[in-house]
């Protein structure tokens, strides 16, 4: 209930009836009006209407506004704040990323790899010459690599090394120098999470070959199938788009489908970590493929059913119910949140919370 008070009338000291403050008993639901003694005290302290409290007028001008809280907290007082809910959906905030800085780091990493590739090939060609390889192709390749190495100095453009090699020299190096070592390396290679970059049998050659040769794909697929994220994730950068699409359809998508199908949604605290696992893998996949899995396995239907049952049976507070819905939303990757159907399902959950809380408000207003 808003009340307009002429403070200047209090400060002028007059006793006219029209300037008398209203009787506190007539001000139902509000604080009692200040007495004349308070008005005189404020005047002695040089208070000016419209200025802030304090010696320098630095304090607040408007009084603190009382906020009525009726949503399952009818007795919550001034300063009350909901504590974070232990709902199993907490997502640690990501550190701020400078996009320009990250771009330069990616370029620097690519250039270091190109330099490593160039120097390794140069050393191998030198060894071949020392061991009696007097083929003209070897000598030409050695000269071409030495010349290309000079072109790397001061360059910050990935692809400089390969671009500096004649096609014939590049083809000879791949067929006669790199491939024999890769064939031997892949046969001996044992995938492990502590060596995700495939040791020295593949990664150093990527600047020149671009991706895993098709002839070695079958061996690699057999070794990384049914392996964990740490082992599989680097291969998106080592396989060609066609190879990665083939592998993901055979190995990753069935795994994610099984996780979503068997997932349990348990408000008020999510104890099943399956969804976090799905979101860990999601950036490696096309967003539409992940959305298709969620819809085919009726994830959103199960999510809404669990939410509806919890709201009706446990009657959580508005804060707890909202935190549960927003917590799930934060688990989704940005690529999935860009999908309108995903956003529509998540917003439907929040829309479901409001009517239930309005019913609770009506209940508390009658108490």
Comparing CA positions, the residue from 211, 219, 208 lying closest to residue 184 is 219
Q: In the prediction, which pLDDT does 17 show?
A: 45
Query: How far, in Å, CA of 164 to CA of 179, rounded?
Result: 20
- Phi, psi values for residue 236, rounded to 5°: -65, -30
| Beta carbons of 170 and 80 less than 8 angstroms apart | no
> Please, what is the average pLDDT of the chain?
83
Taking the model in full, what pTM does it have? 0.72
Query: How far, in Å, CA of 157 to CA of 298, rounded?
Result: 47
Q: In the prediction, which pLDDT does 257 show?
A: 98
Q: In the prediction, which pLDDT does 129 show?
A: 94
Q: In the prediction, which pLDDT does 67 show?
A: 54
| Beta carbons of 285 and 252 less than 8 angstroms apart | yes
Q: In the prediction, which pLDDT does 227 show?
A: 93
Q: In the prediction, which pLDDT does 45 show?
A: 74
Query: How far, in Å, CA of 48 to CA of 330, rounded?
Result: 50
Going residue by residue through the chain, which has 367 residues, state the pLDDT in tens, using 9 for 90 and above: 444 444 444 444 444 444 444 444 343 333 344 567 777 777 777 777 777 777 777 777 776 665 555 444 445 554 455 577 889 998 888 788 788 888 889 899 999 999 999 999 999 999 999 999 999 999 999 999 999 988 888 777 889 999 999 999 999 999 999 999 999 999 999 888 776 666 679 999 999 999 999 999 999 999 999 999 999 999 999 999 999 999 999 999 999 999 999 999 999 999 999 999 999 999 999 999 999 999 999 999 999 999 999 999 998 988 899 999 999 999 999 999 999 999 999 999 988 887 655 554 444 444 5
Q: In the prediction, which pLDDT does 193 show?
A: 73
Q: In the prediction, which pLDDT does 56 show?
A: 73
């Amino acid at each position: 209930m808003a009340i307009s008070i002429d403070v200047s009338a209090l400060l002028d000291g007059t006793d006219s009836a029209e300037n008398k403050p209203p009787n506190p008993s007539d001000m139902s639901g509000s604080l009692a009006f200040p007495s004349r003694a308070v008005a005189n005290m404020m005047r002695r302290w040089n208070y000016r209407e419209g200025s802030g409290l304090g010696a320098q007028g630095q304090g607040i001008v408007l009084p603190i506004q009382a906020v009525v809280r009726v949503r399952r907290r009818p007795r919550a007082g001034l300063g009350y704040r909901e504590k974070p809910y232990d709902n199993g959906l907490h997502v640690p905030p990501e550190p701020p990323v400078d996009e320009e800085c990250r771009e330069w780091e990616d370029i620097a990493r690519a250039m270091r790899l190109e330099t490593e590739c160039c120097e390794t090939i140069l050393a191998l060609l030198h060894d071949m010459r020392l061991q009696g390889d007097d083929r003209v192709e070897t000598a030409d390749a050695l000269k071409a690599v030495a010349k290309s190495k000079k072109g790397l100095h001061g360059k910050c453009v990935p692809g400089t090394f390969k671009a500096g090699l004649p096609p014939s020299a590049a083809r000879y190096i791949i067929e006669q120098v790199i491939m024999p070592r890769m064939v031997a390396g892949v046969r001996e290679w044992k995938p492990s999470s502590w060596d995700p970059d495939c040791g020295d049998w593949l990664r150093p050659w990527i600047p020149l070959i671009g991706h895993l040769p098709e002839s070695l794909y079958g061996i690699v697929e057999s070794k990384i199938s049914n392996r964990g994220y740490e082992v599989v994730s680097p291969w998106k950068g080592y396989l060609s788009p066609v190879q990665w699409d083939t592998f993901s359809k055979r190995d990753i998508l069935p795994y994610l489908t099984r996780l979503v199908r068997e997932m349990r949604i348990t408000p008020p605290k999510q104890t099943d970590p399956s969804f976090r696992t799905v979101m860990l893998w999601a950036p490696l996949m096309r967003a539409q493929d992940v959305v298709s899995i969620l819809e085919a396995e009726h994830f959103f239907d199960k999510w809404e059913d669990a939410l509806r049952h919890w709201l009706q049976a446990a009657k959580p507070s508005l804060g707890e119910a909202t935190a549960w819905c927003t917590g799930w939303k934060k688990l989704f990757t940005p690529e999935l949140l860009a999908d309108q159907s995903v956003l529509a399902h998540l917003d439907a959950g929040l829309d479901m919370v409001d009517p239930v809380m309005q019913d609770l408000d009506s209940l508390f207003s009658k108490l």
